[in-house]
Structure 1
Amino acid sequence: MHLVFVTSLVPDGTLTTGYEIANAAIIDGLRRAGVKVSVVGFTWPGKQPIDPDNTVLLGSVDVQTHTASAKQRLLWLGRAIVEGHTFSSVKLRKAGEARVRQALQKLEPFDGYVLNGVTLAGAYPELFRNKPSIFVAHNVEHQSATENAAAARSLVERLLYTREARLLKQLEAKLCGQADFVFTLAEDDRAPLGIADDRLSATLPLTTRKTAPAPLPSRQPTYDLALIGTWTWQPNRIGLDWFLQRVVPHLPDDMTVKIAGHAPPGLRSDHPGVQFVGRVKDATDFVRGAKVIPLISQAGSGVQLKTIETFELGMPAVATRSSLRGIADVPENCTVADDPAAFALALTHATRLRLPEGDGRGFHAAQMTAMDRQILRGLAALSFALRRQAA
């Protein structure tokens, strides 16, 4: 079977965001199942696809809103309103339908599509209806947009997110309805998307790497807590704000907290132990330098890749229930707490008592086995659709 993986950003070997990590894991899973996978989409500016022989590029694009100029953001917004597209999808309309059609023609013959998220599929909604398809719903996007609207810092921002939520709900319903099978990354996402029937969808467990890292028996942490993430992404920012404003005030003054990743302007904490360290050279080394990992999700849907990575590394953690979306088996060295004071107390106990590290290789193996099983279900549905189409 030959499938075209339709994605906003093609894998370039730099796994810096959860979206990129998930994409690489899904493509690897399809190939383990014996599928020939070709990829079509954009690259980040200055980047090249890691698998150029099986990739057709539509161009390069920086999809980040916070790095765009005010003029560019206004152009995106104006075009989105005029054309009736979501703000995220209109950024990818620069390629034009003719170029996308040409890219698909280069890949013929192929059997079907894997529509990876709503962004590129939503930018050209009529181009991917001619063959059977699997839709990968990374999140319940309309739900995330609604949460972002509630947390917006201005009326204009709230109105934009509200518009985005309305359009995304329509788009997700359309993509789920036309797909022959849907993968979500968390069990709780199936019902909001209207696909809770096992004949229509399945939850796809993920891993953040092809092989599990070996435990470090002599690890020597140099700080208490470590957080890393893309804090300009609104669901992540909501979690970080909750942590800084409601959890950190309950932490002892001598507790050290290092926060890595791009921090938007105005992000600060009065706690003497909190330090914003920006981008780090090696995310795994950074995480392993801490005694405990706080998993702080408060919003969004889909799976938290940082949670999976933490468990693969066997790191002790304190997690909110929202951080455990899509995780069937929570390791014993993870404490669950949603109340801010209880969360802070659990962190304090975990750092003082030095919770034992686990061996994440078992967690990684279980995730990969479950993922391979679910991918076969999706491929079976696609095979049935191909036979029906040929009849």
Structure 2
Amino acid sequence: MSLHLVFVTSLVAQSNPSTGYELANAALLEGLARAGVRTTVIGCAWPGQTVAPDAEPALGEVEVRTEKAGPWLKIKWLLMSLATGLPMSSAKLRVIRKEAVRSAITAAGPFDGYVLNGVALAGAFPDLFTGKPSIFVAHNVEHRSSAENARNAGSLMKRILFARDARLLKTLEHRLRDRSTGVVTFAAEDAVDLGVPPDRSVFLPLSTARPTQLPETRNLAHDLALLGTWTWHPNRIGLEWFLNDVKPKLLDDVRIRVAGSTPADLASAWPDVDFVGRVDRATDFVAASAVIPLISRAGTGVQLKTIETFSLGLPSVATTSSVRGIAAIPDNCTIADDPESFAAALNHKILRARAGDLQRLDGRVFAEAQAQLMDAGIRQMLNMLTGATSGAKEALS
């Protein structure tokens, strides 16, 4: 008998996924489908965004993006967080009526368990997703990321708010950990940080759903391509490190292009860097680059942009933080953590590319190995869930 799981997520699939969270969700849902699992997704959509053809935002449209919010909406979020004692990511979703969430669960029909995909929605309505076995998917150790944000915040008020969020997130993550049958993490060390017992922990390597074949090109439009959601504070920390500490040590004529949502103050501070905003075809964007800098300096979880870079076979220079959760590092990736070594490795690879040596590998080797590891992790997760389901049925009989 095939499983039917309710997939609880703050964001349903978009037609053109771009953030790491969206790409991880797509990979997880595809992995469940490969395993023969039927899923009903309960979540919402961003206003103005086009959802995927088969994605129904059962909870409507909700604005949760800080960069899209005006000052009054930000104040409303803060007041909601203070009133509910919830971290900001969950408090934002309390605009959804509890009755709407309850109705969406009922509309799913008979099902076997929950996949609690991240903290936000599961934490906003913790008393609703009960009565069935559940798997908690911890994309990151959220409380650690917020604590890092507090340490790197530019103002006292931001430090206070991030530190408060870190405390609330830690409580919420531990509550979801304790209530769930098992906990899935995309980096093995995250399970340790969350205090998950080994018998309830599943390490799930992610594979990318995007094509692993690059378009043929010898005409590189730029030397370095950086793609990410730079409005997310841990990503911004990495980009600021790259621009402030690495860029001054690069070749004088280096061509840098940055894609993705970027804070206006950051873009205006670097007029010699080409900030292009959201791109429709991420693969074409990175394929036109000589080298991909992977610049994570903060946060937890796995870096989806790293997995995509490796799956496309592109040469890269990466920080240690950028390759966490990945066992097999391709030969055309150089690991460097200090600005001098990072810049030197980039310069070396750029000069080789300009001389005609693109240093590209067949990314399918990495992608196929990653997919096999992911499918094995999915099976482990489902075995854990079905074991709990069988135990519950036996207890009732």
With normalisation by structure 2, the TM-score equals 0.94
How many residue pairs get aligned? The number is 388
Q: Which stretch has the larger CA shift, 43-52 or 14-23?
A: 43-52
RMSD: 1.6
Seen in structure 2, the aligned counterparts of structure 1 residues 41 and 253 have a Cα distance that, compared at 3 Å, is: same
Contact 1:254-1:273 at 8 Å conserved across structures: no
Structure 1 position 326, deviation (Å): 1.4
1:191 pairs with 2:192? yes
Equivalent in the alignment of 1:11? 13
One-letter code aligned to 1:285: D
1:201 equivalent to 2:201? Answer: yes
Q: Please tell me the residue identity of whatever aligns with 1:44.
A: W
The residue that corresponds to 1:365 in the other structure is 368
Are the structure 2 counterparts of residues 51 and 377 from structure 1 closer, same or farther at C-alpha, using a change threshold of 3 Å?
farther
Q: Distance in 2 between matches of 1:38 and 1:85?
A: 26
Once the two structures are overlaid, the 10-residue window that deviates more, 220-229 or 2-11, is 220-229
In 2, distance between residues paired with 1:353 and 1:49? 41
- Taking the aligned partners of 1:71 and 1:271, their CA distance within structure 2 comes to 29
| Alpha-carbon distance in 1 for matches of 2:158, 2:188 | 30
Aligned equivalents of 1:202, 1:169: Cα separation in 2: 20
Given the alignment of the two structures, is residue 333 of structure 1 paired with residue 332 of structure 2, yes or no?
yes
The alpha-carbon deviation at position 302 of structure 1 amounts to: 0.6
Moved more, 254-263 or 78-87: 254-263
Distance 1:49 1:156, change over 3 A: same
Q: Residue 280 of structure 2: SS of its match in structure 1?
A: coil
Aligned counterpart, 2:379: 376
What is the aligned-residue identity percentage?
52
Contact 1:219–1:288 (Cα < 8 Å) also in 2: no
Per-residue CA deviation, residues 212-258 of structure 1 (Å, 9 max, x unaligned), is: 42244544312111111111100000000100011011112111111
Measured in 2, the distance between the counterparts of 1:288 and 1:20 equals: 21
Q: Contact between 1:291 and 1:351, CA under 8 Å: does it hold in 2?
A: yes
Shift of 1:277: 2.2
Judging changes above 3 Å, is the alpha-carbon distance between structure 1 residues 359 and 165 closer, same or farther for their aligned structure 2 residues? Answer: same
Cα drift, residue 162 of structure 1: 0.5
Q: What secondary structure, in the 3-state scheme, does the structure 1 residue paired with 2:213 have? A: coil
Partner of 2:38 in structure 1?
A: 36
Preserved contact between residue 244 and residue 269 of structure 1 (Cα < 8 Å)? no
- 1:267 partner SS: helix
Give 3-state SS (helix, strand or coil) of 1:59's partner.
Answer: coil
Alignment of 1:1-391 (within 5 A): 1-47=3-49, 49-50=51-52, 52=54, 55=56, 57-195=58-196, 197=198, 199-209=199-209, 212-216=211-215, 218-268=217-267, 274-354=273-353, 356-391=359-394
Deviations 1:35-92 (A, max 9, x none): 111100101113454354x746111112101211101110110111011111111111
By how many angstroms is 1:196 displaced?
Answer: 5.1
CA distance 1:128–1:268, change in 2 (3 Å) = closer
For 1:112, the aligned partner's letter is G
User: Separation in 1 of the partners of 2:271 and 2:96?
Assistant: 48
Moved over 3 A (4+): 46-49, 215-219, 268-273
Contact (CA 8 Å) 2:215, 2:284: kept in 1 or not?
no
Give a deviation string over 1:356-388, Cα, whole Å, max 9, x none.
100001111111111010000010011110111
Q: Note the residue ranges of structure 1 that are not aligned, 5 or more in a row.
A: none
TM-score by length of 1: 0.95
Residue 325 of structure 1 and its aligned partner are, at CA, apart by: 1.3
Q: CA deviation at 1:280?
A: 2.5
Moved more, 349-358 or 285-294: 349-358
Once the two structures are TM-superposed, the CA of residue 14 in structure 1 deviates from its matched residue by 2.0
Note if contact 2:45-2:57 (Cα within 8 Å) is conserved in structure 1.
no
Distance 1:184 1:103, change over 3 A: same
